[in-house]
């Protein structure tokens, strides 16, 4: 554990000190096309909204299978209806959160009118 901490400290000093070997080459941005915190937040939000939208569609498909599996059984139909209602509520929450985030980003962009704008 101490060896890892020593190596890590050495690498940090090499990057941080002006005469360090790694400082001469500079540090490149590993996130291509992301140059500000606004861009990073935008990419993360898009990723999670897309992931949750896919999960919501898969959940709706699953509830379709529950309806087919119920075959008229009232207790299983109740479970399928509740699952479908939960899927629709979840998708509405995702859509609402995306709408609110877009509204806030557009408001901030309108107020600041700077070159680094949020792109949701």
- Summarised one tens digit per residue, pLDDT across range 37-47 is 777 888 888 89
CA distance 85 to 22: 56
User: What is residue 91's predicted lDDT score, i.e. its pLDDT?
Assistant: 93
User: What is residue 23's predicted lDDT score, i.e. its pLDDT?
Assistant: 46
Q: Domain total for the chain? A: 2
SS3 call for 27: coil
Six-digit token string for 105: 């980003």
Q: What is the reported pTM?
A: 0.62
Average model confidence (pLDDT) across the chain: 79
Instruction: Using the predicted structure, report yes or no on whether residue 82 has a pLDDT greater than 90.
Output: yes
> Could you tell me if 36 and 116 are in contact, meaning their C-beta atoms sit under 8 angstroms apart?
yes
> Which range scores top for mean pLDDT: 12-21, 38-47, 68-77?
68-77
22 falls in which pLDDT band (50, 70, 90)? very low
In a shared domain, residues 23 and 36: no
In a shared domain, residues 6 and 47: no
Instruction: Give the range of the structural domain holding residue 1, as residue numbers without chain letter.
Output: 1-30
In a shared domain, residues 43 and 80: yes
In a shared domain, residues 57 and 93: yes
In a shared domain, residues 3 and 56: no
> Could you tell me if 101 and 59 are in contact, meaning their C-beta atoms sit under 8 angstroms apart?
no
Helix, strand, coil proportions of the chain in percent (round to 5)? 80, 0, 20
> Could you tell me if 19 and 25 are in contact, meaning their C-beta atoms sit under 8 angstroms apart?
no
């Amino acid at each position: 554990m101490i060896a890892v901490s020593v190596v890590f400290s050495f690498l940090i000093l090499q990057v941080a000190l002006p005469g360090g070997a790694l400082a001469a080459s500079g540090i490149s941005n590993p996130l291509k096309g992301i140059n500000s915190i606004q861009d990073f937040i935008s990419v993360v939000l898009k990723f999670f909204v897309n992931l949750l939208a896919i999960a919501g569609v898969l959940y709706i498909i699953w509830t379709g299978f529950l309806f087919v599996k119920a075959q008229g059984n009232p207790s299983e139909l109740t479970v399928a209806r509740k699952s479908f209602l939960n899927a629709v509520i979840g998708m509405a929450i995702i859509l609402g959160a995306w709408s609110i985030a877009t509204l806030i980003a557009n408001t901030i962009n309108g107020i600041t009118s700077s070159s680094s704008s949020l792109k949701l």
